[in-house]
Amino acid sequence: MRIVIAVIAAALAGSAASQESKVRLADGPGKDKAMQCGSCHSLDYIPMNSRFLDKAGWTATTNKMINVFGAPIQKSDVDAIADYLAQHYGKPGAK
């Protein structure tokens, strides 16, 4: 029985790992700070939301992650993260 459970657990772990994203963020100032987002969730969320968010949207989203969800990001990093995300993953046509 233990062997069956171990085999099932290994199969599920392998399946989850194969579905994990391999997103590479664009190089630029602030990338190191934006990489902190990956400590809580997949970086897939960044390009997935890029068509919806401008700098104000990225600022609000980053603040929500800190204030509501307890993301381990320093408040002093919010502006650098929002600048980076808006420049590389901002809503098309927005400044």
CB-CB neighbours of 12 under 10 Å: 10
What residues have CB less than 8 Å from 36, skipping those under 6 apart?
A: 71, 72, 73, 77, 81
pLDDT digits (tens, 9 = 90+) for 18-67: 445 577 899 999 999 999 999 999 999 898 888 889 999 999 999 999 99
* 62, 73 Cβ separation under 8 angstroms: yes
Measure the CA–CA gap between 88 and 10, rounded to whole angstroms.
37
Per-residue pLDDT averaged across 63-72, rounded?
Answer: 96
Q: What is the pTM of this model?
A: 0.73
Neighbouring C-beta atoms of residue 3, cutoff 10 Å:
7
Level-2 CATH architecture, domain 22-89: Orthogonal Bundle (1.10)
**Residue ranges of domains in the chain:** 22-89
Residue 16: is its pLDDT beyond 50?
no
- Given a cut of 50, whether residue 17 has pLDDT beyond it is no
What span, in angstroms and rounded, lies between the C-alpha atoms of 51 and 62? 16
Question: What is the pLDDT at residue 10?
Answer: 58
Please tell me the predicted confidence (pLDDT) of residue 92: 77
**What's residue 15's pLDDT?**
43
